[in-house]
Amino acid sequence: MSIIPILMYHNLGVPPQGARLRNLYVRVGAFARQMFLLKLLGYKGLSMSAAMPYLRGEKQGRVAVITFDDGYVDTLEQALPILQKHGFSATCYVISQRTGQYNDWDAASLNVRKSLMNDAQVQAWHAAGMEVGAHSRTHPRLTGCTDAELQDEIAGSKADLEALIEEPVTQFCYPYGDLDERVVAATRQAGYDAATTVQRGRASSGDDVMLLRRVLVSGSTYPHLFLLKLLGNYEDKRG
């Protein structure tokens, strides 16, 4: 059985004055050091689709998956050059009907409006060899959706993004990590290869690929803690 950490990021940069949940911001220098550590330890940084053979147990190797939620502009502007420097790929989960807008689903609670990549920027991310995953159409709590709304949010997001990048979109991320059996069934039915949650822990080959755990990387994930999350069971105990 292989252990595969799926790293979960949200924002890169310095938290704006007055922003809440400041721990969701990872400073660019910290992200650069984390990617350097991955390389130094012999990890290959991969997108979700590139990691699927490892998650299915078909391939062995020291790999870490790199994921970004929501599709913020700083993912393109700050993360991409660092990823390219190390020869890594990554997945960014995009909210398909909010491109070029802002985080209207939580701006009030977080006390900050953050710019989301527009269509051209999503295409640029993809053209640079990175993966576009789906994060629904509008970032709702999916367990509160009707069956028709689920179909629209989950399958509709896939269709939107496939039309945008002109390639299959095979990866999904549950907004807020909000899911139940009905949501997972709708995700399978939509044709995704895998889906990630916000449940903490490292993934293992043989896990249900529709319920993949991730390793939370926050603003307080200092180098020693990053190593503990990556190499030990620190994150698994918090799942």
The proportion of the chain whose per-residue pLDDT surpasses 90, expressed as a percent, equals 94
Determine the pLDDT at residue 183: 98
**Residue 159: both structure tokens together:** 């269709």
Length, in residues, of the chain:
239
Say if residue 109's pLDDT is above 90: no
**Residue 196: both structure tokens together:** 């990630």
**Residue 125: both structure tokens together:** 């991310």
- According to DSSP H, which parts of the chain are helical? 28-40, 48-55, 73-74, 80-86, 107-110, 119-127, 147-150, 156-165, 181-190, 223-231
Indicate the burial class of 225 (C-beta count within 10 angstroms; 0-12, 13-18, 19 or more): middle
CA atoms within 13 A on the CB side of 46: 19
Say if residue 94's pLDDT is above 90: yes
Say if residue 86's pLDDT is above 90: yes
Asked if 49 and 196 touch (Cβ cutoff 8 Å), the reply is no
Which top CATH class is 3-238?
Answer: alpha beta
Determine the pLDDT at residue 114: 95
* Mean of all residue pLDDT scores within the chain: 97
pLDDT band at 175 (very low <50, low <70, confident <90, very high): very high
Distance CA 8, CA 57 (A): 21
Stretch 16-36: mean pLDDT, rounded? 94
Dump pLDDT digits (tens) for 39-80: 999 999 999 999 999 999 999 999 999 999 999 999 999 999
- According to DSSP H, which parts of 128-212 are helical? 147-150, 156-165, 181-190
Stretch 222-232: mean pLDDT, rounded? 95
